[in-house]
Amino acid sequence: MILRVKDVSVARGGVAVLEGLSFEINPGQALIVKGPNGVGKTTLLRTVAGLQPPFKGQVEAPEEAVAYAAHSDGLKTMLSVEENLRFWADVFGQSDIEKAIQAFDLVELRSRLAGSLSAGQKRRLGLARLLVTGRPIWVLDEPTVSLDTASVQLFADAVRAHLAEGGSALLATHIDLGLDVTMLDVGPFRAKQGDAPISGYDEAFL
Ligand SMILES: Nc1ncnc2c1ncn2[C@@H]1O[C@H](COP(=O)(O)OP(=O)(O)OP(=O)(O)O)[C@@H](O)[C@H]1O
């Protein structure tokens, strides 16, 4: 087990959205979170990634084990593709960026400014960043948005390789990646108390 979520409840805007979730992810395993729009998938992923605290329960993972990628790619627009990857590799104490450039088909784009890339190309660069973090747990919120079929395949291959190396992944996605994964439907964990604000909980505390 590398990630354990124990009886976790999460909130957004001070209101409970999901309650009583428990699951574990082992090395080499991926879990896909399913559920309708607005049910709380992003909130759960943000909580697992440590961007906000759960208001109940615990998230247990090794220190600095999680790499999180969400809707905004967080690219440095005035740096090239290669410079962006070097920057992130430095931040995470890694040196190899070639694997990431190859895996996400960025060879021809390596000298282009990130700000000049198309939406799908930006997304590929954002996902390539995962490979230069060296972190074992990928937490990914809708990672395939803007990607064409070929790029979705590149992404699925990258996840498959990550799992084969003993990594793990927690993903919210609506598309079938063709991976052997466990599914978790969070619909049944929707919070029951409606829109009542939670007293004494501040999700912005981190
Ligand atoms: N900043 C905010 N303030 C208040 N409520 C919010 C805020 N952000 C999201 N919410 C609400 O919290 C709930 C959970 O949102 P969340 O983004 O986690 O859902 P989701 O399952 O990821 O949805 P989607 O599939 O549409 O991406 C939704 O009802 C949403 O409207």
* In the predicted structure, residue 194 carries a pLDDT above the cut 70: no
pLDDT of residue 198: 74
Cα-to-centroid distance, 17 and ligand 1 (Å): 8
**What are phi and psi for residue 100, nearest 5 degrees?**
-70, -40
Cα-to-centroid distance, 22 and ligand 1 (Å): 20
- Residue 206: in which H helix or E strand, if any? none
Cα end-to-end span (Å), the chain: 25
pLDDT digits (tens, 9 = 90+) for 135-176: 999 999 999 999 999 999 999 999 999 999 999 999 999 999
User: What mean pLDDT do residues 123-139 have?
Assistant: 96
CA 192 from chain center: how many Å? 27
pLDDT digits (tens, 9 = 90+) for 63-122: 999 999 986 678 999 999 999 999 999 999 999 999 999 999 999 999 999 999 999 999
> 67 and 103 in contact (C-beta within 8 Å)?
no
Was domain 29-51+62-182 assigned CATH 3.40.50.720?
A: no
pLDDT of residue 142: 95
Question: Which protein residues touch ligand 1 with a CB less than 6 Å away?
Answer: 12-13, 17, 35, 37-43
Q: Where are the domains of the chain?
A: 29-51+62-182
What ipTM does the predicted assembly reach? Answer: 0.94
Concatenating the DSSP letter of every residue in 5-44 gives: EEEEEEEETTEEEEEEEEEEE-TT-EEEEE--TTSSHHHH
